Chain A
Amino acid sequence: MDLLNNFLFIALPYVALTVFLIGTIYRYKGTKFKFSSLSSQFLEGKKLFWGSVPFHYGIMVLFFGHLIAFLLPDVILSWNSSPLRLMILEVSAFIFGLSALVGMFNLLLRRKTNPRIEMLTTKMDLLIELILLVQIFFGLWIAYEYRWGSSWFASVMSPYLKSIFTLNPQIDAVSSMPWVIKIHVSLAYVILLLIPFTRLVHLLVFPLSYLWRPYQKVIWYWNRKKIRDPKTLWNVTRSKNN
């Protein structure tokens, strides 16, 4: 049992983090063309709405919820000090979880029933969508069965995750968790590990910079004023378009 715990909570996270870091950097540098959200809305638009929108908004809220609980556990604990606020947090998180679950289910259904989308489906697409579906399902199970997750996550999971990142893994608390929670945590590492091998890379290039760039974009290949300047030598700079 110790061996399994050591593997799942010490070896797996470090392997996953390493593969994720090296894999994504390698792919971004080497096969940049393949960094794409690979949208299939152009082939089927109506059913996508009932999958993509509830899934993405659900999973985004859940992701940032987990992230805040990990980074700022004290904030969550003090928020949860009043039962009403705890209920508000847990219920709304559960609703977003349901939204993500329904969305993912609809996406998988669309993928398997629409012949056009099926043509574009790769094995990795199916694998990652199945893992995500199971992961969301386990998350909801945990939220329902082992209440109140937001509180014990802050007091148990946050220290464990911190210990991983400070290279001093403390797995005693997480090893004594029920098996459902153990699977949820391990699957999270598996998803992290799979990111560079799947279409999930698109979440790393979410175009936030769009918010502060000017609308129009003009690129000069070469600074002609510079070329014409007789005082400088031939200036070897990379062209700006690639």
Chain B
Amino acid sequence: MDVRSQVSMLFHLDKCIGCHTCSIACKNIWTDRKGAEYMWWNNVETKPGTGYPTKWEDQDIYKGGWEKNGKSVSLKGSGKLKGLVNIFHNPHLPVIDDYYEPWTYKYSDLIEAPAQDDQPTARPISLITGKPIEIKAGPNWDDDLSGTPDYARKDPNLQNLSPAEQEAMFQLEKMAFFYLPRICNHCLNPACVASCPSGAIYKRGEDGVVLINQKVCRAWRMCVTACPYKKSYYNWSTGKSEKCILCYPRIESGIAPACMHSCVGRIRYLGVMLYDADRINEVASADINNLVNSQLDIILDPFDEDVIASAKENGVADSTIKAAQDSPVYKFVKEWGIALPLHPEFRTLPMLFYVPPMLPVMASLSEQRNKEQLDKLDPIAKKWDDDWLYDTSTEELWGTIEEARFPLQYMANLFSAGDTCKIKDIMKKLMAVRIHRRDKTVGDLDKENVKKTLKDVNLSTDEADDIYYLTSLAKFDDRFVIPPAHREQAIEMIENTGDVKGSSGFGFIEKPARGI
């Protein structure tokens, strides 16, 4: 057992309101620079939708991630042989048009235009060429556009949904969508690290943050292809790749990353997970049916005596072990089992977990024309003036999940490598917590029924209350349990103390100018 610690993340999708505050916080701090204008280390996508860059999930196009190759895994679009053969021209590299061409407006025209009959306008100017451009795409170009033929219907996750299911998803009255915020997953088996010919990308041993050493990056651009989440971005101006750094200077000083700190819906959680590094290869090459389970299995119980002993042996600080025991992410993922990684089938072992959204699934509108049918429904079911029913009844609880207007298969394609049972289990748990809380606060439900729903999903009332607390009431310190970086070492994480004595800040000592 080779115990390492990983700062891992959890996003509760039911709480995401799609406000993009996280994206702006990140952009203002890290990517508001030349060559980085198009980058969104944190972005929020509307699902169903094609995402950013367009259709990033379709690995037939981008060849990202690992694929199972006999008993082991190999990189899909890069790797030692493929990478070096294609080093002069990477056939799978997205170009900037797959994201969007960054632009600004020529505001000076508004005040400097000569007197004329027409109102002067500020024309869009490309931030690359400085010439006027026709805007074809931009940040969040498909925001809230569920149902549109150009975006939602081209979502790669619709692949194994039947045509009828797809049609049902996109009927105007029944259409639903949810938001999917994404940052770098700081994977345990990162494809970007493996694909970098220069060896510029590395995973920090202490906290598992994946970083690109800007001085070693030589623009071979294989990481952009290899990352199946397309979270490694190529800076066309400096000729270096860049990616989310999980705000490591903030984490080292005990502050939550900017995207998480600024999150309006408080959907984000951050905490330490201990994992067994010896098993990475075995887990990454697990059978597709067993992929999710084995990825969750690699995470160790921080209360286990053996785990604690081997962690200490490995030099994991006591404070980190304590943080792992208090980790909200561990609770969601392992204790309660209501969170899953995004696209585990890419086999990178992502360490960012999502609580799947229940609302678009559960908010199933069914047409109730039959009086008998109406009478059979639980009295708590909300009855609309017309024949439509917003069905939240407990009697039909487990039934409505399967007849949801958002097919479970779609969620399963996102979070569980196509396994609908996993999603169904989680939906049941989330619903059971709601029923339990409704019983506690409103008290209009049949007690036996409430007990039965909790028993069905194997949750005690205490656990249900804990889930409710951490979901709805959690304070800042409950949501972000950041392991102390140990002040005496925090500076060394960036630079040697002796070297930076007397200097201020961090980052580039030399100007990050393009090579000569």
Interface residues of A (CB under 8 A from B): 31-45, 48-49, 52-53, 55-57, 115-116, 118-120, 122, 124, 197-199, 201-202, 205, 207, 209-211, 213, 215-225, 227-228, 236, 238-239, 241-242
Contacts and interface: CB of A to CB of B under 8 A. Distances in A.
Interface string B127-150: 011110000000000000000000
B399 interface: no
Contact of B239 (A36, A219, A222, A228): A36
A152 B480 CA distance: 73
B268 to A, nearest CB: 25
Given A43-B95, A56-B88, A116-B128, A215 B194 contact: yes
A218 B492 contact: no
Interface string B482-516: 00000001001101101000000000101011111
Contacts of B492: 221-222, 239
Interface stretch (B165-173, B214-222, B373-381, B450-458): B214-222
A130 B201 CA distance: 34
Contact of A39 (B211, B221, B237): B221
Contact of B510 (A33, A35, A48, A115): A33
Interface stretch (B202-210, B333-341, B417-425, B462-470): B202-210
A42 B204 contact: no
Given A216-B193, A216-B194, A221-B489, A52 B88 contact: yes
Contacts of A40: 236
B203 A38 contact: no
Given A48-B89, A116-B128, A43 B513 contact: no
Contacts of B238: 33, 36
A175 to B, nearest CB: 35
B156 to A, nearest CB: 21
Nearest to B513: A34
B219 A38 contact: yes
A211 B80 contact: yes
Contact of A120 (B83, B194, B198, B236): B236
Interface of B: 75, 80, 83-84, 87-91, 93-96, 128-131, 189-190, 193-194, 196-199, 201-206, 211, 213-221, 224, 234, 236-240, 280, 315-317, 489, 492-493, 495-496, 498, 508, 510, 512-516
Contact of A213 (B199, B203, B489, B510): B199
Select the residue from B93, B214, B315 with max chain A CB neighbours within 10 A: B315
Contacts of B199: 207, 209-210, 213, 217
A128 B189 CA distance: 41
B211 to A, nearest CB: 8
A34 B516 CA distance: 7
Contacts of B219: 36-39
A207 B89 contact: no
A231 to B, nearest CB: 16
6 contacts: A36-B217, A42-B224, A52-B88, A198-B516, A199-B516, A241-B493
Contacts of A198: 516
Contacts of B91: 49
A33 B512 contact: yes
A55 B495 CA distance: 40
Select the residue from A40, A45, A119 with max chain B CB neighbours within 10 A: A45
B85 to A, nearest CB: 10
A78 B234 CA distance: 49
B239 A210 contact: no
